[in-house]
Each structure stands twice: as structure tokens, then as C-alpha cells.
Structure 1
Amino acid sequence: MHRSRKKLTGPPPGSRTTIEQRIQMLRRYVFRLGFTARISTRTLFKYPQHQRLGLRLMPVIGMKLSSLGLISVLLASVPPALFGAVIGTNPPCPPLSVERITALSPADQPAWRDYLARSATAFAADKKFYADELNVLGLTAPLVPARAKGRVIPVKTPGNSFTSPDFLRLADNLISFQTPAGGWNKNTDFASRPRHPGERSGYEAGYVGTLDNNATIAPLRYLAAVVQAGGSTPATDRHRAAFLRGLDYLFAAQFPSGGWPQVYPLQGSYHDAITFNDGAIVNVLTFLREVAAGRGDFAFVPAETRARTAAAVERGIVCVLATQIVNVDGRRTVWRQQYDPLTLIPVSARAYEMPAQSAGESAGIVRYLMALPEPSPTVITAVHAAAAWFERTRLNDVTYALAPDGSGHQLTPTPDAPSLWSRYTEIGSDRPLFGDRDRSIHDQVGEISKERRAGYGWFGTEPKSTLAAYAKWSQRHAKK
């Protein structure tokens, strides 16, 4: 259904505006849709008598999540017999499509139509490149390169000159695996040899590049180190061209709303979502901010490219701040792993990854925001709010490990254990949430399958180091 709203108007070309102004523009730009979810109040049972990490459920008529807020109506308590039951079903993530773009106002459609068309063109070019190779070789299916075993792209240290034949050989290998669109695949052994004709561009299925697992960013950092160390030679000219093509890939992949998808060119499903999962956008923004500064390994980057990079970073920060979840009471919390690029509404990913607050990814986002040299008032407010959320959602005196009775991983009372945070917590109530492969959502980790309890990180400690850094940061940036 079409919803009327104000037209987004930006500053004239070349002008400057504050991040706060850009956030306000983006809020008007977001297509305001809602979704229904449940909300509850939280009650912890006492240790060691508790049998569960309990959270009392209250039914609701519905909860509407706009770009930055929740509206909920609470009714009466659910009878105790319903406590601990399946509380919902994880909805699939909608892909970015022409049909959905058509629902936007006419003024907002051109940028998204252009983005989708460029993505489709790049996807077709990738596909044709590999299909042509298969036809020449008489192959009916692509060959698959080896899976990486551990880290294959070294991180630069003071002892690495990046000028030896081995370093240059790896740089050449990386160029051979770069996709026609300019990105890289993940989990691939780039070190052993260059890509062979007829092979995919990576171990993972599909020909498109990705930002998942630090793919694309790690090769770009490595190529920059080789270029900067080697000066201007025919070899480094080749590496420089591949690096700049990779930067163009990141520019092309950035959504009009400022975030990045997990995979580009787009391939549908949750891969089309704005992706904070596994640090994808934080890795991109950290890298691009260093490129924009033009120091160290990125001193060779042309000034015009650095300016374009700085603009991409600013749009990315605006998106980060605009996607911080705001509860019905106006209180900011943290971030979800994925967001709809059109609406900035939290969305699901895999069957067991529901739209919920994500402690681990949020910890990385907060660390990035605290690293900004001159944080705006909006950034400062966002960091303080997230730190407060980390404090009130920590789980004390429990561990998550294999139970001695053979029932699999369980949350167990453990006095004086280090704090844990649930990977997912419900928006509006902060109760831990857990998902299974059948898309069911639970409020007790012991109720999901044994396989999922063991095969996924339902609890983590990432906010601990973030809070330690926050203690120092907050001394320089007081709440306002």
C-alpha cells in the first residue's frame, strides 16, 4: 500500500551538512511500515533455585516498529500453562525488488531503481564471464577452488615488508580471484595458487562477491599494503588497479539509504539486507575511514577517490545511527543484525535468526562509534544508550555448556561466572530469544533442538570489552 510522506530533499551539491541533519532526512526518507511482534516484561528467577532463566510473557495486540520506534498495547498476563511455549515464527526476509520499490513515493523511486538495475547488470556480467569460460573449456559445471584452512591473507605487522616474491605472488593470486564486479568470495584458499579458468571465484557457491567474514575488505587491505610498499612498478600498477576496482565495488554496493548488503550484486533473500552480522558494515566503515584519511598504506589513493570515500563513510554513519532501535518509551537500545534497506526495519536472516536486538554485533558497532575522533552529539547519545543497555541485559552467575546428563548444551547456574549476553533479545522487553531450523522462536534455549543448541553461538561476551573501552571513553564524552 502506498503511504504518502514528505519528499526527501538534500543539500545542494558540494555543500556540507551535519550528521544530525542527514539522520533527520533519512528518517523522512524511510518508508514507514509496521510489523507485529510480541512484547513482554522480564522477571529473573533467583539462583540457584531457578530452573530456567525465566521471562514472563504478556500477550499484545501488536507492536508497530517504524524506522526508529515501537508502538505496543499490553493486555493481561498469559496463564502460567503457556509459559515457555513457542512464542512465534520467524518471518522470511523480503528481497529488494521492483515491486517493493514501486510502493515508494515517485520522488524516492529513481535512486532505488537505478541501484537495482546496476546490481542486475553486474550480476549478469559476472554470470556471463564464467559461463563463457565453461563454454570454451567444454565444462557443464564450474570447478571449485579449495577451501581456506585458517587465515590465508596475512595482516600487516611491523616486520612485514610486503615486497618479497611470496607477498607479490599472493597479491597476483588475489587479483585472479577478484570477481568481474570487483569483490571477492569468502572461505577460499587464495594462497596456494591463482584461480584456474573454469573455476568459481571462490569456494562458496555463487559467483558474486561478499562482505561476509571480512571477504573483500581483507584482500583490499593486503593489496594496498603491497602497492604502498612497492612504489610505482608495473607489478604494483596492476595491484593498484585491482585495489581501485575493489573500492568501486564498495561504492556500487552501498544502498541509497547508506548501508551495505551482505552480498553484491544482489542475489535475493536476507543477503539483500543491510548487514551488520559478523561485523560486515563495521569492517567496511573502518576500512573506508582509513582510506579517506589517506595515510599509511592508503597514501597512494588519489584525492578525488578519498573524497568519494569520505562521503560514503558519512552516509554509512547516518545509516548506523538511524537504525539504532528505539523502544516505545523513547529509550534507545542497540542494533539488529540485518535491516530492510528500504524501511530500516529489523528483518530476519536464516531460519533461526529472528528480528531481534543483537548484543555481539552491537558491541562492534559501539566500538566503531567510540573510535570516531570527533563524535557528534548524536553519536555520543547513541553510545551512552547502548552501554546502558549492555549493563542491564548482562546475565550473571550462569554458563552455557554441555550438561552432564547428556541432554546437550544448557544454561547452567554457576556462581561468580563471567557475564554473558544473549545473542538475541526481544525488542521492547529485552528477554533472550532462541530460534530453530523450523523457524520457531522460543524464550528458553533448552527448548530448541540439540543440534542448534550446539551449533550456534547463543551467548557471548563481546559487550564486556566494549564496556571496558566505554568506561574510558565516557570520561571524555559525558552524557548530554
Structure 2
Amino acid sequence: MKKIIILICVALFISCSKDDLGQTEVKTIVINGDNTLTSTPKQLTVTVLPGDATNKEITWSISDPTIAVITETGLLTGLKNGTVKVTATAKDGSGTKGDKTYTVSGITGPTVFIQSIAITGANITNGQPLQLTTQILPANASNKTLNWTISSQAIATISADGLLTPRLNGTVTVTANSNDGSGKSAQIQVAISGVTTVYATTVRAESILLWQRNNGGWGKAVPDLNDYNLAQTDQQKAAALASKNNTDTTIDNGHVVTELRWLLADYKTTNNPNYLAAAEKAIDWLFLAQYANGGWPQYYPDKSGYRHQITYNDNAIANVMNLMWDIIKGKNNLELINPVYKDKATTAFNKGIDIILQTQITYKGKKTVWCAQHDEVTLQPALARSYELPSFSGSESVGIVRVLMLVEQPSAAVKQAVKDAVDWFNGAKLTGIATQKITDASQPTGQDVIVVSSPGNILWARFYDLTNNLPMFCGRDGIPKATLAEIENERRVNYSWYGNWPNSLIGSEYSNWKVKHGL
């Protein structure tokens, strides 16, 4: 009976271990196998609990690198006889660790490290697999095992023993890394041709491929993303091919992030490497488009007009940051891309967090929220379209806070930024009103949007004036107004001036986030 009660308690504990984003944290890590190590390297594995933990990745570390070394993948190599402790730490931010002390024996002489690696290979002209070989010096190196990686898994794959298998015509760089702790590596570039394999396709992915620009991004030629689900006409195909070199590629309105996510989803169902290659090309575009300070412009490389500004508008940067997070965590199909992107995404995400902190607006000595766009040099709130004035954003700021709340081990600055933003949202509530869309033949659009009384209802304005923190509305004349009724009918009807965007954020999401971080 006691054992049954314990099991029930453990099950309840695990079931309640989800964080505010619905993710299950790692609670236990056990390093499998016995605790002996001979002169033969040992591949370590772990058991991670609970079984449904969202992120089961770990990092390896060792107490004394003079006795043994361990690679990123957990290959443990003894260097001299003795004892050493190996630790596996969860990557999900939970701080969970597992360790084991190994007794190293059977090492009869000093470890001989690899001094050089040379790869022998050739270009592939027939589309067939090629076995790469290596020459490792000195010949008596203690550990000659290598870790093979490839620059594009869409073009070709590489096996653990160096068998290169083509998937598409193109060029790849293959790298062989030593596993003995010497840090030695070698590279070879292989041009591949002669691949004739025909892969399964989808209408959506083929449409997306057609409209992808040569730089890896997409413009707004397909403004409704759902139109990718339609087979493109001859006229559309001609227009797409003629625009391949256009530079008006953008993260606005969900572009690039949506297209590459759909490509990966279709790659998962078809195994068509063209879709993976196109998605990775788009990710490369996102890395290239990021400013050194961490922000992303609305368009890249065309930065005319206001396109150069750091753009939070319509969740542009939030979409990119969420994508980077998925690359880091290897989820939502981003586990399908080349693992080399993880480190790049980590750098890009961290820089993005930095610029978010730097652009948070200070009002009367206190941090608040963000403008829909900020100047990339001064970092100050900036003007976009004539009716999108520098302001506090009651909409875009929600997505930004959610990005900050992704950080697993938030600094004091990140915690304060979230708290200050939530404080602002609470102070900016508009109670007792709602918007109503009505038919009005007297208006140019035949419709109108009016503000009506609605006891108990809570809304936020899209924009708040930077000078008085009050709701602000603006027509195409660029002149700010205090009420929605003061701007022209076309702008009243065709823009989202009010919404309940922060509602769930400042409620359960924020409460759970505070509990998670002991606040």
C-alpha cells in the first residue's frame, strides 16, 4: 500500500510539472550502464523522466579532463587510470542533473591525441553514394573515432562512418571532427550532380518554392498566404520567375516565417529535400537580415522608407523570435533542419532579447511597453505609415512580453521588463466600452465602427500617446486624435484600433510565470 501511495504522489507531481507554456520540465536524469571505463571509449546514454518531458536534450561535463574527456554526444574516453565524475545536465532550464563516478582502468600508456585529419573524396557525377575515407596522424592515436557533419542535409546525408548519400544536385561541405578531445577536424567540399530522383510534391510547397526569391525570402506578391494552397496559373508562374531577383523580401504579415514553416511541414509528409533546402535558405535569410544590435528590419535588403526600422508591428519580430526558439528546442518541425543552426539560433535569440530590453520605453521614470517600430540606430519609437505614429503599443507589446517569458533562466533585467510591461497593461485598461461594426449607407465604405457602452467589458487601445499615455487615433492625415470618431471612416473601418490582446497574458500566463520563477 505504501508503494502504491508513493507512485500516486509521483504521478501527481509529474502531472503538475508543466510550466506556463504547457511544457513539461525534466525532473530526473539517470546515466545508464555500469561505472567502469577501460581503454575503449564508451558511448554514454541517459534515461530522462518524465517520459513526456518537452525537451530531453542534455549537456555533458566532466570533473577532471586529465583523467577522461567526453564529447557533446556523450562519448567518454579514458586518458589515464583514476576516478572521474560525469554529469548530465538538462537543457530545458530546469537545472536537473544526473551524475555518475567512473573508475578508469586498463590505460597502459599515455594517451596519444590526433594531430591531423585528412579526408579523401571526389565530386559525385553519377548521383550515387560515395564512401569518404580519412588519414589520421599519428597512426597510433588512441581514439580515431570521428564525428561526421554536413553543411546541408537537404542536398546529401552523411553516415557515422562517412558514407555520403546524395539527395539533390548541389555542393556540400563535409566535416570530420575528432572525438578524442584534441579539437582536430578536416573539411572537404563535394560537388554533386547526376541525381535524378523524383520526389513527392504538394501544391502548397510548390507554390511557395515558385515565389521564393533568390535571396531566400518572400515578398508580398502573394498577400493572402492561403493562396499558396492553389496551383499557380501560367501568368502567376511567369510573374514569380520574373521577380526572383527582387529585394523587397519581408517579415511583415507573417511572411518568411510562415512560408518556411509550411515548407518543413510538407517536407515531413513528402520527404522532398527541395522543401528542406528552401526552408534552410529562408532561415539563412533571417540570420542575414538581423541587425548587429539584435533587431530585424521589416524588409531586407530593401530598406527604403520606414522598412529599415526595427519592426514589432503585426508581431514581425515576435514571429522570428518564436522560430529561433523552436530551432533551439528542436520542435514544431524545426528538428528537421541541420543541427548546425542551433548555435546560430541561440545567438540570434539572445541578441533579440537584448534589443527588446533596450527598446522598452521609459515613461515618467518607469519602463513600460514598446512602440510598433523603433529606429534601428537611436532605438527610439518611430513613425511608420502616416497613421502609425510613435506610441505605446497595446497590441504588439503582448507578443514581445511572451517572447521574454520564453527565457528559461531570466536575468533580473528580463524579469523586471516583464513585470513593468504587465503593470503598464493593467494601468492602460479601458473599462465599460466595446466597439461595434454597423451598416451605414451614408459612409464612404457603407459601414462604420463606433464605440458603445458595455458595462464590465475591458479593452485596450492599439496606440497610446507617448506624452500623456492616453488612447490615440490617427487618420491618413497624420494628425493624432483623442477619439476614434474623429478620424476618417475608411481608417475607422479598416484598422484594428481596439482589442483585448493582453487579456490572457496579464492573467494566468503572468501568474504561472511568476510561480515558475519564484516571484
Task: Give the TM-score normalised by structure 1.
Answer: 0.60
Q: For the residues of structure 2 that align with 1:428 and 1:439, how far apart are their CA atoms?
A: 16
Q: Relative to structure 1, is the Cα distance of residues 388 and 245 closer, same or farther in structure 2, using a 3 angstrom cutoff?
A: same
Question: Are positions 1:373 and 2:412 aligned together?
Answer: no
What's the secondary structure of 1:354's corresponding residue?
A: coil
Counterpart amino acid of residue 261 in structure 1: P
The residue correspondences of 1:433-472 to structure 2 (distance < 5 A) are 433-468=472-507, 469-472=509-512
Partner residue, 1:184: 218
- Conservation of the 8 A alpha-carbon contact between 1:228 and 1:298: no
Match of 1:384 in 2: 419
Q: Superposed, which structure 2 residues align to 1:223-234 within 5 Å?
A: 223-231=263-271
Q: Which letter does structure 1 place at the counterpart of 2:262? A: Y
In the alignment, which residue of structure 1 is the partner of 2:347? Answer: 311
* 2:455 corresponds to 1:415: yes
Q: Which residue in 1 is equivalent to 2:107?
A: none
Alignment of 1:111-122 (within 5 A): none
Report the CA distance between 1:226 and its aligned residue: 3.0
Q: Distance in 2 between matches of 1:313 and 1:289?
A: 7
**What's the counterpart of residue 193 of structure 1?**
231
Tell me what 1:297 maps to.
333
- Native 8 Å contact 2:249 2:302 kept in 1: no
Residue-by-residue CA offset, 1:156-197 (whole Å, 9 max, x unaligned): xxxxxxxx95x6342222111101111113425222225755
Which secondary structure does the structure 2 equivalent of 1:411 belong to? strand
Separation in 2, partners of 1:202, 1:332: 47
Query: How far apart, CA to CA, are the structure 2 residues paired with 1:202 and 1:222?
Result: 23
Task: Quickly say closer, same or farther: Cα 1:478–1:325, change in 2 above 3 A.
Answer: farther
Note if contact 1:184-1:209 (Cα within 8 Å) is conserved in structure 2: yes
Query: How far apart, in 2, do the equivalents of 1:328 and 1:175 lie?
Result: 49
Residue of structure 2 equivalent to 1:255:
291
- Cα pair distance change 1:415/1:409, threshold 3 Å: same
Higher alpha-carbon deviation: 457-466 or 189-198: 189-198
1:306–1:336: structure 2 CA closer, same or farther, 3 Å change rule? same
**CA displacement at 1:328 relative to structure 2:** 3.3
Q: Deviations over 1:31-57 (max 9, x none)?
A: xxxxxxxxxxxxxxxxxxxxxxxxxxx
The 8 Å contact of residues 312 and 396 in structure 2, kept in 1 or not, is answered as: yes
Which residue pairs with 2:100 in the alignment? Answer: none
Q: How does 1:302-381 map to 2 (within 5 A)?
A: 302-329=338-365, 331-381=366-416
SS in 1 for 2:422: helix
| TM-superposed deviation, 1:257 | 1.7
* Deviation larger for 464-473 or 186-195: 186-195
Residue 255 of structure 2 corresponds to which residue in structure 1? 215
Opposite residue 391 of structure 2, the aligned amino acid is A
Give the C-alpha shift of residue 201 in structure 1: 7.0
Deviation string for 1:327-349 (max 9, x for gaps)? 232x1110100011111111011
| 1:184–1:202 CA contact under 8 A, matched in 2 | no
Q: Supply the distance in 2 between the matched residues of 1:429 and 1:478 (Cα, whole angstroms).
A: 34
**For structure 1, which runs of at least 5 residues remain unmatched after alignment?**
1-163
The structure-2 alpha-carbon separation of the partners of 1:462 and 1:347, relative to structure 1 and needing over 3 Å to count, comes to same
Q: Answer yes or no: is the 8 Å Cα contact 1:174–1:190 preserved in 2.
A: yes
Deviations 1:445-468 (A, max 9, x none): 222122222221111110112112
Mean CA deviation greater in 169-178 or 430-439: 169-178
Query: Could you tell me which amino acid in structure 2 is paired with residue 435 of structure 1?
Result: C
**Under a length normalisation based on structure 2, what TM-score does the superposition of the two structures give?**
0.55
Partners of 1:351 and 1:412 lie apart in 2 by: 27
Count of residues in correspondence between the two structures: 307
Q: Deviations over 1:225-254 (max 9, x none)?
A: 2334445xxxx2222221111111101111
Larger CA deviation: 169-178 vs 282-291: 169-178
Q: 1:202 to 1:320 in 2, by over 3 A?
A: farther
Structure richer in strand, relative to its length: 2
Distance (Å, rounded) in 1 between the aligned partners of 2:359 and 2:352: 11
Cα drift, residue 368 of structure 1? 2.1
> In terms of Rg, which structure is larger?
2
Residue 333 of structure 2 aligns to a residue in which SS? helix
Supply the AA of the counterpart residue of 1:191. Answer: N
**Cα pair 1:270 1:348 within 8 Å, conserved:** yes
- Percent of aligned positions that are identical: 32
In structure 2, give the amino acid aligned to 1:210.
T
- Deviation sequence 1:288-307 (CA, Å, 0-9, x none): 11112234522232332221
Q: 1:274: Cα distance to partner?
A: 0.8
- Alignment deviations for residues 356-387 of structure 1 (CA, whole Å, 9 cap, x no partner): 00011011111222233322221111111111
**1:175 maps to what in 2?**
209
Q: Root-mean-square deviation (CA), in Å? A: 2.5
Query: SS of the counterpart of 1:335?
Result: coil
Looking at secondary structure, tell me which structure has more helix per residue: 1
